[in-house]
Amino acid sequence: MRWSDQRQSTNIEDRRGLSGRGMAIGGGGIGALLLGLAILLCGGDPSQLLQSGTETQAPPSAANSARPPDQNRQFVGAVMGSLEDAWKQVLPQQARIRYQDPKLVLFTGQVNSACGYASAATGPFYCPGDSNLYLDFAFFDELKREFKAPGDFAQAYVIAHEFGHHIQNLTGIMDKVHRQGENNRLSVLLELQADCYAGIWANFAQKQGRIEAGDPEEALRAAAAVGDDMIQKRMQGYVVPESFTHGTAQQRTQWFARGMQSGDMRQCNTFGG
């Protein structure tokens, strides 16, 4: 992926090293790790693994601005800049909805959000309560090591998927789904639409000359690796379709590809029967 000359987003909040304490996530130790692995990349409702805490998190300090830039920070800033540029055009043109930037919060270990406390084991997530995306860079190592999905475009897909949830928040579909309560079928449709929206961004990036040979394959491998069926096979050796919340490997790759090929939000109507 060509990103080094991409405009850097200003909507990055760096909380690395400032994570709060006192989070309580059930099933500690390896159980928490496995639960975290099960939702990595998926961007589902973080309340499944988030618990409210009693201690408050220290606010970002002025020291953040003095931290020297690092390559990961530059990379996500470029990806966010590209996503902002894409959706500033696509959302008003195709959905007649006013676009608003989200913010990407970088953290290490654990973080406090409007959705509660979360650990790095939760994986990247979007919180509709504060319109923030949350990312611990340790996840990129997990993506390569545990999910066998290396590459910068695979990492960009992760961010684009979470950004897709922000678009769902702006369109109101996320609120409609959440008002239905716990519903695995609707959860799957929500996640697949976010995959399709990630594909729409990839379509935009391709037109901007940002996509290199092999990039789409990196994203497709990442999407397949976090299909519910693949995760369940790896974790427990068998598949329980009734418990799916994010879609199969085939579904996730198909919807990402659909968005990338069309660049059209209308083609991402996973709820459309």
With cut-offs at 50, 70 and 90, classify the pLDDT of residue 110. Answer: very high
Q: Do you know the residue count of the chain?
A: 273
pTM of the shown model: 0.82
pLDDT at 51 over 60: no
Residue with tokens 């959860």: 187
The predicted-structure confidence for 188-239, as pLDDT tens digits, reads as follows 999 999 999 999 999 999 999 999 999 999 999 899 888 877 878 778 888 8
Torsion of CA 212, 40, 34, 49, to 10 degrees: 170
With cut-offs at 50, 70 and 90, classify the pLDDT of residue 69. Answer: low
Q: What share of the chain is helix, strand, coil (3-state, %, to 5)?
A: 55, 10, 40
pLDDT at 122 over 50: yes
Taking only Cα atoms into account, the Rg of the chain, rounded to an integer number of angstroms, comes to 17
- 106 Cβ contact list (under 8 Å, min separation 6): 12, 13, 14, 15, 16, 73, 76, 135, 136, 137
pLDDT > 90 fraction of the chain, expressed in percent and rounded: 60
Compute CA distances 271 → 174, 176, 190, 242, whole Å: 12, 11, 8, 18
* Mean pLDDT of the residues in the chain: 82
Which tokens sit at 34? Answer: 């496995």
pLDDT of residue 273: 55
Q: Mean pLDDT across the stretch 138-142? A: 90
Alpha helices in 96-227 (DSSP H): 138-145, 152-171, 173-179, 184-207, 215-225
With cut-offs at 50, 70 and 90, classify the pLDDT of residue 114. Answer: very high
